[in-house]
């Protein structure tokens, strides 16, 4: 069987539209509660965090009702970064964790991500098991065994202390002027606090959430404001987070962006020099630039690729015993510190290199010369299956033949939106563009 409800990063969609309705969230909480209570013992707990979306209140209450109906005790963290949930599941010895967030998506969307007791996101098999319970009659607990809910006031500050502890103790951020863009999201309090307490002069933006401005012209997917702020204030660097702070984009002193590939290249090379890169391998997805792969190979290192989704990166890391991985989009996973992508901690490691080497961000952020890459997204209608169309399949085969030997092509469905993503890389950028145009046109013709 395949999952129908869960995508590459939990359940996600437009709030108050299937599957992201209060009714389904309640039933999903009950199904997950029954899954995590399958041993029948009475003492079970789940921690729930959220970002700053208006719909977060609705889903928080619905999930709480579902979990408590099956006897789970609920610990409510309020607005915290996604990695804080992964950390606190283990710290508070909970059976499960939930993050209510649609990450970098606009405020109209929301999502529900599950973590296991080890602080890692659930496997495909666990998600499928929850779906199977959801599709059946969920047995509620007896009235005397209904769970309780409790607000945890210091969860955010536990995360703040954990994030600070990852910064080298012999270094500080004294003298660094840092712009931090929190995307009006989950890290709007944590990130400026951490940077200030480590000694930086902090210029915060995107720290005034109102429920509907999350990721709105700010954050890791819209860095123009941060770039303008860096230049206007003469800052040394900018750390741009997304709505749930599990990804980061770094801007240098000129406002030029470095994506996840560049940051991972820097981290991998540095840790390899120190003998701290497990098995001399970096884990990344099929979306990572060919230039990163060539850069690592030139240093005797290996790039292990996975399918798209930071949870698949983490699964490969755990299975292979690797300790650094991530995505081009800015999910950076360092299992020496965290169980999932953590934009703030990754940003701190970059700042640590600036402090240690006493070099400007621009000299650290341009790790390698990327191969020209073009990414197109084509929206398709409900009930449509563009990748199953014979014309689209033929266009893909023709494009692969055109690029063979000089580049590569990747066509896939998005796991979070009704989009076909068409990505290509080649040294000849004009050839690449025309080749991708033909694939996009074929997909658009299907609708």
Tokens for 23, please give them: 């009714």
Structure-token pair, residue 233: 């204030």
How far apart CA 11 and CA 4 sit, in angstroms, is 10
Going by the DSSP 8-state scheme, the letter that residue 278 receives in this structure is G
**Residues 120 and 126: beta-carbon distance below 8 Å:** no
Say if residues 400 and 388 touch (Cβ distance below 8 Å). no
- Rounded-to-integer distance, Cα 269 and Cα 301, Å: 8
Bridge partner list, 379 = 419
* Nearest C-alpha neighbor of 419 from the set 2, 10, 12: 12
The C-alpha atoms of residue 62 and residue 60 are separated, in whole angstroms, by 6
Please state whether beta strands 96-100 and 45-50 pair in parallel, antiparallel, or not at all (unpaired). Answer: parallel
Provide the greatest CA pair distance for the chain: 69
Q: Which residues does 193 contact at the CB level (< 8 Å), separation at least 6?
A: 160
3-state secondary structure of 13: strand
How are the residues of the chain apportioned to helix, strand and coil, as percentages rounded to the nearest 5? 40, 20, 40
Annotated catalytic residue, options 55, 103, 141, 329: 103
Nearest residue to 34 via CA among 149, 152, 145, 112? 145
Q: Is position 384 annotated as part of the catalytic site?
A: no
DSSP state of 137: P
Q: Which tokens hold the place of 100? A: 């209510």
78 Cβ contact list (under 8 Å, min separation 6): 49, 50, 151, 152, 155, 156
Residue numbers annotated as active site: 103
């Amino acid at each position: 069987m395949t999952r129908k409800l869960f995508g590459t990063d939990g359940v996600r969609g437009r709030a108050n539209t299937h599957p992201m309705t209060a009714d389904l969230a309640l039933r999903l909480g009950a199904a997950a509660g029954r899954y995590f209570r399958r041993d029948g013992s009475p003492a079970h707990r789940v921690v729930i965090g959220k970002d700053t979306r208006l719909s977060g209140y609705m889903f928080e209450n619905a999930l709480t009702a579902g979990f408590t109906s099956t006897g789970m005790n609920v610990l409510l963290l309020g607005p915290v970064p996604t990695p804080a949930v992964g950390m606190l599941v283990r710290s508070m010895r909970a059976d499960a964790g939930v993050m209510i967030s649609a990450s970098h998506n606009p405020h109209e969307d929301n999502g529900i991500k599950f973590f296991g007791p080890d602080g890692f996101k659930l496997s495909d098999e666990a998600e499928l098991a929850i779906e199977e319970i959801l599709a059946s009659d969920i047995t509620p607990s007896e009235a005397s065994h209904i769970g309780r809910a409790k607000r945890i006031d210091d969860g955010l500050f536990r995360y703040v202390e954990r994030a600070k502890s990852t910064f080298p103790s012999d270094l500080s951020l004294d003298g660094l002027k840092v712009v931090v863009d929190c995307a009006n999201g989950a890290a709007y309090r944590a990130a400026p606090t951490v940077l200030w307490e480590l000694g930086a002069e902090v210029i915060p933006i995107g720290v005034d959430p109102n429920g509907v401005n999350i990721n709105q012209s700010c954050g890791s997917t819209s860095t123009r404001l941060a770039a303008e702020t860096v230049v206007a204030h003469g800052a040394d660097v900018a750390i741009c987070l997304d709505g749930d702070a599990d990804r980061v984009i770094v801007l240098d002193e000129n406002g030029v962006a470095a994506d996840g590939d560049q940051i991972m290249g820097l981290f991998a090379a540095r840790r390899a020099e120190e003998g701290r890169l497990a098995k001399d391998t970096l884990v990344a997805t099929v979306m990572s630039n060919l230039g990163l792969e060539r850069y690592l190979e030139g240093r005797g290192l290996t790039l292990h690729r996975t399918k798209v989704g930071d949870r698949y990166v983490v699964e490969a890391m755990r299975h292979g015993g690797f300790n650094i991985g991530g995505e081009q989009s800015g999910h950076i996973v360092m299992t020496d510190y965290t169980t999932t992508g953590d934009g703030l901690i990754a940003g701190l490691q970059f700042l640590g290199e600036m402090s240690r080497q006493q070099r400007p961000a621009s000299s650290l952020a341009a790790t390698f010369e990327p191969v020209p890459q073009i990414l197109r997204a084509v929206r398709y209608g409900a009930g449509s299956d563009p990748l199953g169309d014979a014309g689209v399949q033929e266009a893909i085969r023709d494009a692969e033949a055109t690029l063979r030997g000089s580049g590569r092509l990747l066509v896939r469905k998005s796991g979070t939106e009704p989009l076909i993503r068409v990505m290509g890389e080649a040294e000849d950028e004009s050839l690449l563009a025309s080749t991708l145009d033909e694939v996009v046109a074929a997909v658009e013709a299907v609708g």
